[in-house]
């Protein structure tokens, strides 16, 4: 039977589509690599390995965790941004590479907004913690003291451009205070100097601060997210103190290379949400003082847009820039 030109065109179109559709339909049919852009042993790495193990059980394929850290997470993020968009190379990251580094770094060799959102796994609220010798007993007292003594209080951070640095810049803006910045190389040395009273205050995620608060070596004064924490029932949020438009949390997200098929990202979102609902995952998160997140890809995209605007405004308003 002779085929008309229309029949031939339709057949060719279907033939062209078949190789594209097949991978999505069979996904996954081999191991998945998750690039973690921070060193092994930290919060992002711990959460990723927990979720990866459960994801492996659900998908029936190995989920291999690989750490590629450096340049504030940009090295691992750039690697995934340039990976084949087939769902077999993913990125697990803290917020900075997705929502802050494009404004912070003069040259960034990938587009964070082009990365495909999959799911936010967990959130750890940032808290205001002060040294045992700090001349204040409450967040209100700290703000009043800072206003009366501009530049006298010293704040530690994990380093220039880090979450703790940007959070304190935002804090100074919304409270109209002036503090002296003392940058460190990471959370541990900054907290050690806080405990020794070499610096007066710091914003850090609650997981890192809680043991020192519980032992009396430091004091948590306020929480920078919207709700009080079960482990800190007497510590107010900044919203409760009347300080609006102040939100800061460390969160862990999974994203895919640009142009990864929607069917693949939707499948991964569905499976990660299912993992997050598991009782053993909820229990593990509770021991780490983490808030389970999850939700749709659209939820994640909206949240990241809000975070990107928040930190871009802080970075530009503070004239911050890194090479």
Domain ranges of the chain: 28-124+249-317, 126-223
Count the neighbouring beta carbons within 10 Å of the beta carbon of residue 130.
25
Query: Domain spanning 126-223: which superfamily?
Result: Periplasmic binding protein-like II (3.40.190.10)
The helix (H) or strand (E) run that includes residue 65 is: strand 63-67
Q: Return d(Cα 223, Cα 4) in angstroms, integer.
A: 70
Q: What is the pLDDT of residue 8?
A: 46
pLDDT-derived band of residue 26, with 50, 70 and 90 as boundaries? confident
**CATH class held by domain 28-124+249-317:** alpha beta
Cα(82)–Cα(76) distance, rounded to whole angstroms? Answer: 10
Residue 23 has pLDDT above 60, yes or no: no
Q: How far apart are CA 310 and CA 312, in angstroms?
A: 6
Q: Do domains 28-124+249-317 and 126-223 have the same CATH topology?
A: yes
Q: How far is CA 187 from the centre of its chain?
A: 15
User: What is the rounded average pLDDT for all residues in the chain?
Assistant: 90
pTM, two decimal places? 0.84
Q: How confident is residue 24, by pLDDT bands cut at 50, 70 and 90?
A: low
């Amino acid at each position: 039977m002779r085929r008309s030109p229309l029949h031939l065109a339709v057949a060719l179109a279907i033939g062209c589509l078949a190789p594209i559709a097949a991978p999505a339909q069979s996904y996954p049919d081999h191991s998945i690599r998750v690039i973690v852009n921070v060193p092994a042993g930290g919060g992002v790495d711990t959460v990723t390995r927990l979720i990866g193990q459960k994801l492996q059980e659900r998908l029936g394929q190995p989920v291999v965790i690989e750490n590629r850290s450096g340049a504030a997470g940009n090295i691992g993020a750039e690697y995934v941004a340039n990976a084949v968009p087939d769902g077999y190379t993913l990125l697990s990251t803290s917020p900075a590479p997705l929502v802050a580094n494009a404004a912070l770094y003069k040259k960034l060799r990938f587009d964070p907004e082009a990365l495909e959102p999959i799911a936010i796994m967990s959130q750890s609220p940032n808290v205001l913690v002060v040294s045992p010798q700090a001349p204040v007993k409450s967040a209100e007292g700290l703000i009043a003291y800072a206003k009366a003594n501009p530049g006298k209080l010293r704040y530690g951070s994990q380093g220039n451009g880090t979450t703790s640095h940007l959070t304190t810049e935002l804090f100074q803006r919304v409270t109209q205070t002036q503090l002296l910045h003392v940058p460190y190389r990471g959370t541990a040395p900054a907290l050690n100097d806080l405990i020794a009273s070499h610096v007066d205050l710091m914003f850090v995620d609650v997981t890192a601060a809680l043991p020192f608060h519980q032992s009396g070596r430091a004091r948590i004064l306020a929480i920078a997210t919207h709700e009080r924490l079960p482990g800190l029932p007497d510590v107010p949020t900044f919203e409760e103190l009347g300080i609006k438009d102040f939100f800061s949390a460390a969160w862990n997200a999974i994203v895919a290379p640009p142009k990864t098929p929607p069917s693949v990202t939707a499948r991964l979102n569905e499976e990660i949400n299912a993992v997050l609902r598991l009782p053993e995952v909820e229990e593990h998160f509770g021991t780490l003082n983490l808030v389970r997140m999850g939700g749709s890809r659209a939820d994640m995209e909206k949240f990241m847009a809000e975070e990107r605007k928040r930190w871009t405004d802080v970075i530009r308003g503070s004239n911050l820039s890194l090479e």
